[in-house]
Chain A
Amino acid sequence: MATEFVARGADLELVGIRKEFPGFTAIEDLDLHIPAGEFFALLGPSGCGKTTTLRLVAGLDEPTKGKILIGGKDVTETKAYQRPVNTVFQSYALFPHMSVLENVAFGLKQRKIDDPMTKAQASLDLVELGHLALRRPAQLSGGQQQRVALARALVNRPSLLLLDEPLGALDLKLRRQMQIELKAIQMEVGLTFLHVTHDQEEAMDMADTVAVMNKGRIEQMGSPEKLYDRPKTVFVSKFLGQSNLFVGKVEEENASSISINVAGNKITVPKDRAEKHKGTIAVGVRPEKAFFHEEKPKLGAGHNLIGPGEIIDIRFTGVSNQYLIEIPNVGNVTVFAQNIGKSPVTELGAKVWVSWKVEHAFGLSDLPTNTGTETVTQSITVQ
């Protein structure tokens, strides 16, 4: 079954997967469907179960419960070497006793595919390393090794390619370059990619669909744009970019929106952008969608306005200035202002009001806990 030489990606389906290790549960009840040919990213902090998920799909570990289907076939009971899946390991795991070319040809030889050396050479050429075919892996740089690992997996034309943080060891510049190359290769060969990463920028940049994983569960899944624009949980709103969160009780409700009261400030969120419409809820806004004003502005009903507050920190990051504004009884709010030559205010201690469009607000299904480390981006009412 694994020996057919497919040239197209297959879809992957995980049904009710659970994985327990002695002492803890790495994955609890995971259901996932990745359509054929998609670039899918599994995003989460370390220890969230994303690498375990990948190992289960590769067949390197067995699930405690549940089924794994690749291209509609149940592969749960099969061993790693029988699955039409290849992995680019985080450590690359290139065989040190073989040349680069032998490494790439390894899988082809095991499956007794004709002319493995020519195919391996072609695959190396694809990643622009054809000239280093006879070297040993130890003689290559990290970035080159990463590309060899990719070539070694791709040459087998697996139905599904698994990427386990393969760019983790590279420096930023090489990383960007590899991200672009990886995406280009995926489009070219049309395989299904399952990419595991803790780098939210990488996931958003490359993937068609991102699943944010936390504590063994998928918190939210969708296109990068959707996840960023409309996070549903506190974890997603913080892990994917930064968020200002406000917690308050819902006090007003009309046909299209609800408003919460945060220490006397009214914050409105459209109903279709809020998970909950009653009780105490958390409402957030992205720092780049918020603005500040030196004088209290006259804004229409389409805006939220809080303040006045005081600028307590300014960080220059190149493309933008990041302002930290302390608003009495509300907390700290972060505002990003683009450096386009007319930055509003730059001095510390200035008295300002913060506003954002109602349509940019989002309501979350859970409430932030105060244990979060990123308190800077989090505004919680002291009640």
Chain B
Amino acid sequence: MAFAAFSHGGGGGKKVAAPVSKGSGKVALLLLLPGLMYLAVFFIAPLFSLIATSLQTMDISSGFPVYNYGFEVSNYVNVVSQYGPQIFRSFFYALIATIAALIISYPLAYFIGVKARRWPLLQGLMLTLVIAPFFISFLLRTFAWKQIFSNESWIVTGLQSIGFLQPDQYLVGTPFMVIFGLTYNFIPFMTLPLYTTLERLDVRYLEAGADLYANPRKTFIKVTLPLSMPGIVSGTLLTFIPIAGDYVNASGLFLGSTETSMLGNVVESKFLKSYEYPTASALSVILMGAILFLVTMYVRKSGTDDLL
């Protein structure tokens, strides 16, 4: 019985799928069950819990705040009016960092995936180097950047001496530094999907472009870029989404300051420091909803349906 469930994909050949037998539907459902249960317990339930928390009402009649389940929609209104700048910053920084990561990653991924094809060893080495930063803790690396760009570092004093920075201007705590850190930390998530797509890029299309009078620039715009859209879309999603929710880079302990705090920093402080759960939950729901909306719009707009 169970074999029947595997028989369609089994063998890996170009076999025409056999008609689905009556039993295999049940087997498939049975096999899906653990996954569905996992999703129900660890995703659907917490999601509802989060939404319920975000709608809790605060009761201070007993002298200290107590939260009761309710339907306090004003939580959302308060959050948006109070933390508008942080919400905007989250998406603005995420946008800039994603674009920067794309601009840095594309040539790199192109080199590894297309130009280095003839040398698999070089390819492997370069891919390892792309992933290598992950061998060291994310926090340590971010902190290292804080050291490198610290107020007494030769980079900052150098920039001050050539007049690029004023004598009382520093880098740590500025939006530039936060965006720099975000870009740096998430570049591998951009490079790897781009590499996977470009690695499969058939260079014969590029030759056809050249044969049809398109100069290298035109060939890139008309052929290479559209053909690498799947990688660009998944790369930008894999960087944009986590960056929008990131709180490490923008935190005052690392590269940011109160001037740069993002949505994640507010959620962190409300959850862990001031215990304002409804506020923190409402912010999380807003972040999730906004990302969902933006991603849907983006995927639709980029028309990747028939490319993916």
Contacts and interface: CB of A to CB of B under 8 A. Distances in A.
Interface of A: 2-3, 58-60, 79-82, 85-87, 89, 91, 93-97, 106-107, 110-111, 136, 152, 156
B144 to A, nearest CB: 42
Given A81-B213, A107-B213, A93 B204 contact: yes
B213 A95 contact: no
B223 A59 contact: no
A156 B212 contact: yes
A108 to B, nearest CB: 9
B207 A107 contact: no
Contacts of B222: 106
17 contacts: A3-B213, A59-B211, A60-B207, A80-B207, A81-B214, A81-B216, A87-B211, A93-B204, A93-B207, A94-B208, A96-B227, A106-B209, A106-B212, A106-B222, A107-B212, A136-B306, A156-B213
Contact of B212 (A3, A60, A82, A152): A152
Contact of A95 (B215, B216, B223, B307): B223
B20 interface: no
Contacts of A95: 205, 208-209, 223
A60 B208 CA distance: 9
B210 interface: yes
B218 interface: yes
Contact of B227 (A81, A87, A97): A97
A93 B202 CA distance: 9
A299 B226 CA distance: 74
A95 B219 CA distance: 11
Contacts of A80: 207, 210-211
A110 B214 CA distance: 6
A95 B229 CA distance: 14
B227 A60 contact: no
A80 B215 CA distance: 9
A82 B211 CA distance: 8
Interface in B12-48: none
Nearest to A113: B213
A96 B202 CA distance: 11
B122 to A, nearest CB: 16
Given A91-B204, A110-B218, A97 B210 contact: no
A89 B213 contact: no
A46 to B, nearest CB: 17
Contacts of B212: 81, 86, 106-107, 110, 152, 156
Contacts of A152: 212
A203 B207 CA distance: 25
Contacts of B207: 60, 80, 89, 93
A81 B215 contact: yes
B208 to A, nearest CB: 4
Contacts of A97: 226-227, 229, 307
A83 to B, nearest CB: 8
Interface residues of B, number: 22
Interface in B128-187: none
Contacts of A81: 209-216, 219
Residue in B211, B218, B306 with the greatest tally of chain A CB atoms within 10 Å: B211
Contacts of A3: 213
B227 A85 contact: no
B179 to A, nearest CB: 32
Given A60-B211, A81-B211, 7 more contacts: A81-B209, A81-B215, A81-B216, A91-B202, A93-B204, A93-B207, A95-B209
Contacts of B214: 81, 106, 110
Contacts of A87: 208, 211
Nearest to A155: B212
A2 B211 CA distance: 11
A86 B218 CA distance: 17
Contacts of B226: 97
B213 A110 contact: yes
B59 to A, nearest CB: 59
B210 A59 contact: yes
A156 to B, nearest CB: 7
Residue among A110, A136, A156 with the most chain B CB within 10 A?
A110
Given A91-B204, A93-B204, A86 B211 contact: yes
| Residue of B202, B210, B223 with highest tally of chain A CB at under 10 A | B210
B160 to A, nearest CB: 48
Contacts of B209: 81, 95, 106
Contacts of A86: 211-212
3 closest A-B pairs (Cβ-Cβ)? A107-B212, A93-B208, A80-B210
Contacts of B216: 81
Indicate the member of B202, B204, B227 with the most A CB atoms within 10 Å: B204
B300 to A, nearest CB: 17
B210 to A, nearest CB: 4
B207 to A, nearest CB: 5
B205 A93 contact: yes
A357 B209 CA distance: 55
A79 B216 CA distance: 10
Contact of A89 (B208, B215, B218, B307): B208
A307 to B, nearest CB: 53
A80 B226 CA distance: 21
A58 B223 contact: no
Nearest to B226: A97
Contacts of A79: 210, 215
Indicate the member of A58, A60, A93, A96 with the most B CB atoms within 10 Å: A93
A152 B211 CA distance: 11
